[in-house]
Structure 1
Amino acid sequence: MDGSVSTEPLFRAAIVIPVYNHEEAIGPTLASVLEYGYPVLLVDDGSGPACRDVLINLDRQYDERVQLIRLAQNGGKGAAVKAGLRHLFALGYTHAVQIDADGQHDLTDLPTFMATGKRQPEALVTGYPRYDASVPALRYYARYLTHVWVWINTLSLRIKDTMCGFRVYPLAKVVELLDQESCGNRMDFDPEVIVRWAWRGWPVENLPTQVHYPIDGVSHFNAVKDNVLISLMHARLFFGMLVRLPKILSNRRHV
């Protein structure tokens, strides 16, 4: 060693997987994730007894490679992700990779997501899906309504997809954001947090990723409740965009 001090930014990453009653899918998903050698945090979002027991057994099976935290009651995907991000930040990790429990994400892309996060440690790295034939047609087309609203609310097309749950978060920045601003606790979390991230002028990196729907046939998207929450979120963000308009335009000039 020559005694010089490295200027390379610290990158210490772990995987966070929110889980709610995916007792069939979580085992194979976790096994696939662990092949890449990263520590994994499972967040049990108030699952029923069957999934709870599976998660406890997985935690025991994989020892130090897997950690489990359990929320007392179901709060929604966003609540589970937020709990996981805060937990990993408190443990000293610099970045967290969010992956869904149902096996829909193509984990062969994980090294690319990690490499991009390490190369651009200040950026939120988000996937934009390439779907196979398993995607429900209604969800495929309906999600673009959310995209359009996000493009309006950010005055930008730089976010290619707003609802993909395959992301790399810089933990210091995202925890700062969550401490200062409210973000949804259910399916509204993914689009809302990335809009509020963009409002601050922070960088976003988009990566293509293959998505297929899910191996256990379980979806926790409630067509009525979650669409109402997402609609209210878009309305709230629209008025928030109007208030922040000068700052958003200023940030765009410096991106």
Structure 2
Amino acid sequence: MRHLVLIPSFNSGAQLVRTVRAARAHWPDVWAVVDGSTDGSGEALRAATAADDPGVRVLALPRNHGKGAAVLHGLREATAAGFTHALTMDADGQHPADRIPAFVAASRADPGAMVLGLPVFGPEAPAVRVRGRRVSNWWAGLETGWAGIGDSLCGFRVYPIAPLLAVMERTRWMRRFDFDPEAAVRLSWQGVRAVNLPAPVRYLSAAEGGVSHFRYVRDNALLTWMHTRLVLGAMLRLPVLLRRRRRRPSPQPGPPAAATRP
């Protein structure tokens, strides 16, 4: 198995360099997919790290396509390079780079599973965002027959690349902000087990360099349409989901041990 840290980024400013450096301190292969950024962050990353660090690679898309499209581009390149698993994390500094080894260890212990971050929020987390994700989590549970997806929206997770790539190549969805929850649901439909591990999540202030592209009305409308599609898909798969639920053992937490650097 070969694990890669994959960081999609759109106009993340100086935070992109800090995020890549933090990830690089904990893992030897870190790729950033600059998704049509216009703020110079991709160029700054190349100048700061990629030029003299063979463990960092910067992929650039000519225009903004969305988070899922950026991840898809990275997965295709990663497959060509021989990687089997990708740990995705956001470029805005919310996700804990020091948890990378533990998540990779859980993935190595169960290579066919997806290892999903279970967010632990600080007091600075916006209440509307915390409450809103509970709604998405409930729908994801319904759509998968309560298959053990602890959090549908957290972008800090490890995917086995082959099944995720196969799922994404078969649909025109999963290209924007809806990528994370739809990926978890569709992989669950394919029989990919969920392992949930806690991961602290920070909401950085503007003074700390925090950048957010979340738009309450637009993105919630996107999630509503996504869950509508997935509920319809779940109804078609209902007999299979019920059979899996009857056979499913009680979910077990992933191992806390740190991964060994290759």
TM-score by length of 2: 0.89
Alignment of 1:231-246 (within 5 A): 231-246=224-239
1:228 matched to 2:186? The reply is no
Task: Tell me the alpha carbon deviations over residues 31-50 of structure 1, each in whole angstroms, 9 at most, x when there is no partner.
Answer: 11111232111100000042
Provide the residue aligned with 1:212 in structure 2: 202
1:127 matched to 2:117? The reply is yes
CA contact (8 A) 1:59 1:68 kept: no
CA contact (8 A) 1:85 1:175 kept: yes
Provide the residue aligned with 2:27 in structure 1: 37
Which residue identity lines up with residue 14 of structure 1 in the other structure?
Answer: L
Provide the residue aligned with 1:160 in structure 2: 150
Secondary structure of 2:54's match? helix
Secondary structure of 1:128's match? strand
TM-score by length of 1: 0.91
Which residue identity lines up with residue 70 of structure 1 in the other structure?
Answer: A
- Unaligned 5+ segments in structure 2 are 249-262
Secondary structure of 2:124's match? coil
Task: Tell me the alpha carbon deviations over residues 120-172 of structure 1, each in whole angstroms, 9 at most, x when there is no partner.
Answer: 10000010100111211111111111111111111215111000011111111
Aligned residues: 245
Give the distance between the partners of 1:74 and 1:145, measured in 2 at CA.
Answer: 28
Provide the residue aligned with 1:3 in structure 2: none
Task: Tell me the alpha carbon deviations over residues 198-241 of structure 1, each in whole angstroms, 9 at most, x when there is no partner.
Answer: 11222110001111113422111121221111100000001111
Aligned partner (choices 241, 252, 255) of residue 245 of structure 2 = 252
Q: CA deviation at 1:114?
A: 0.8
1:112 matched to 2:102? The reply is yes
Aligned partner (choices 126, 129, 139) of residue 139 of structure 1 = 129
Provide the residue aligned with 1:18 in structure 2: 8
CA shift in 2, pair 1:217/1:36, >3 Å: closer
Give the distance between the partners of 1:76 and 1:68, measured in 2 at CA.
Answer: 17
Give the distance between the partners of 1:62 and 1:100, measured in 2 at CA.
Answer: 23
Aligned partner (choices 77, 93, 109) of residue 87 of structure 1 = 77
Give the distance between the partners of 2:178 and 2:194, measured in 1 at CA.
Answer: 18
Q: Quick one: percent identity of the two aligned structures?
A: 38
